[in-house]
Amino acid sequence: MASEFRLPALGADMDEGTIVQWNVAPGSVVKRGDVVAVVETDKGAIDVEIFQDGVVREIVVQPGTKVPVGTVLALLEGAEAPSVIGPAAGVPSPVQPAATAARLKISPAARKRASELGIDVATLQGSGPAGAITLEDVERSPRLSRSEKKEAVEPKAGEGMREAIAAAMSRSKREIPHYYLSTTVDVTPAMDWLAAHNASAPVAERLLFATLLVKSIALTCDEMTGFSGFYRDGRFEASPAVHVGVAVALRGGGLVAPAIMETAGKSLTALMDDFRALVMRARAGRLRASELAAPTIILTSLGESSVDAVFPIIQPPQVAIVGAGEVVTRPWVVDGAIQARQVVTLSLGADHRVTDGRLGAQFLARVAQRLADPGSL
C-alpha cells in the first residue's frame, strides 16, 4: 500500500530544492491538492501540493535538506488503510485529520478584511493565541505598509533566480525559432468602458486594463489552436484548458509568471481577484508549484514602463507569449479625421515549429477585436 511522494519539478528548470517546512506529520491524512510542504527553490519559497490521497507514514527528508528533483520526500499509506487497520497494527497514532494540518488559524474578522483588501491570508503571520491571524495582523500587513515591511516578506531574488531566468531564456533562444509580430490597437473604447465600470464599482471590484488583455488572450486561445500548450519531445501538445500566466516583476529584481487557472471561463472580476492575489503572493514568495508550472501562454505587460512595445521571449516548453506596451494617447485616424486616441502596441512571440506568421497575425487580430468590444468579455 505504501507509495512515495517525490520532490516534483516546480518549474521547467528546477533541479533541486530545499525543504523549508512540513505541514504534515506521520499520521496526517492528506488529500490530493493539499499543501504538504514548503520548498525553497530558485524562484523563492513554493507551496508544494500532493497529488494523491493517503496517510503520511514517514517523513524521509527533514527540513533544511537540499535534495534533487525526484527524491523521495515522504512515504504514504493508501487512504483506506488506517480505517481498517487499527493503531495496534502499526499505523502511527494518533491519526491527525487533514483539516487540522492544513486549516489556517485566522479570525473571521481578519479573513473578511483580508478579502476586502485583496490580501492573500497565506502570506500573513499570526500574532494571536496559537499563532492565529488577527484583524490587526491584516491591517499591519506589508501590503498596506510596503515601505516598512519590505525586507521581511519579499523573497530576495538573488543569484538563484537570476540563474534560473538565464537558463530558461538561453534554452528558449537556443531551441525555439521565434517569430515576432506586432500591431497597434485603438483601445479607447476599452479604456472608456473601464473608466465607467470603475467609477461605479467598489474598490475591491475595480479592474485593470491587464484584466481585459488576459481575458481576450484566453478567449482567443480557446478558439485557435497552436498558441496555448507545450512543445515536448518534438511535437506540440495543445492544452485542453487555457491558463494564462502573468509576468510579475519582483521588487528585488527577477520575475515569475504564475498562471491564472482556467482563465477563459472566469469573469473579469474573478480574474482581477486572482491577478491581485497572484501578484501579492508572488511578491511574498508564496506561490504554489502548480501555479508556476501551469501557464500555457504568458502575458508580459510593461505597461507602466513607458515602452511602446515588448519583444518577449517564450518560456519553454510553451509556444507563445504576448507582450503589451504602455497605453498611450496618440494621433489616430478615425473615419478620415485625426483624433487623439488611446492606443497600445501588442506583440506576439510565437514558436515557428508550431505556427506560422499568418496564423499569428490572425491571433493578434482576434485579440484586438475582443478589446474593441470590452462589454462582451
Q: Which residues bind other proteins (CB under 8 A)?
A: 107-112, 127-130, 132, 134-136
Please say which residue, 128 or 252, places its beta carbon nearer to other proteins: 128
CB of 67 to other proteins, least distance (A): 34
In this structure, are residues 284 and 71 in contact, taking their beta carbons and an 8 Å threshold?
no
Which of 191, 244, 171 lies closest to 12, judged by CA?
Answer: 171
Minimum Å distance from CB 138 to other proteins? 10
Identity of the residue, 129 or 336, whose beta carbon is nearer to other proteins in the bound complex: 129
Closest distance to other proteins from the beta carbon of 108 (Å): 5
Which of residues 204 and 307 has its CB atom nearest to other proteins in the complex?
204
Per-residue b/e over 171-210, b at no fewer than 16 CB within 10 Å? ebeeebebeebbebbbbbebbebbeebeeeeeeeeebbbb
Q: How far is the CB of 63 from other proteins (least distance, A)?
A: 23
CB of 141 to other proteins, least distance (A): 15
Which amino acid is it at 108?
P
Which set of grid coordinates corresponds to residue 274? 486572482
Q: Largest Cα–Cα distance of the chain, in whole Å?
A: 86
Which of 171, 166, 221, 181 is CA-nearest to residue 350?
181
Q: In sequence order, which residues have a C-beta less than 8 Å from that of residue 181 and are 6 or more positions away?
A: 347, 348, 350, 357, 360, 361, 364
Closest approach, Cβ 313 to other proteins, in A, equals 45
Cβ proximity to other proteins, 132 vs 201, nearer residue: 132
Can you tell me the distance from the alpha carbon of 330 to that of 355, in angstroms, rounded to the nearest whole number?
32
For residues 151 and 60, give the distance between their C-alpha atoms in angstroms, rounded to a whole number: 32
Residue owning grid cell 507509495: 3
Q: Which CB atom, from 116 or from 356, has the smaller least distance to other proteins?
A: 116
Q: Kindly tell me which of 126 and 160 has the beta carbon lying closer to other proteins.
A: 126
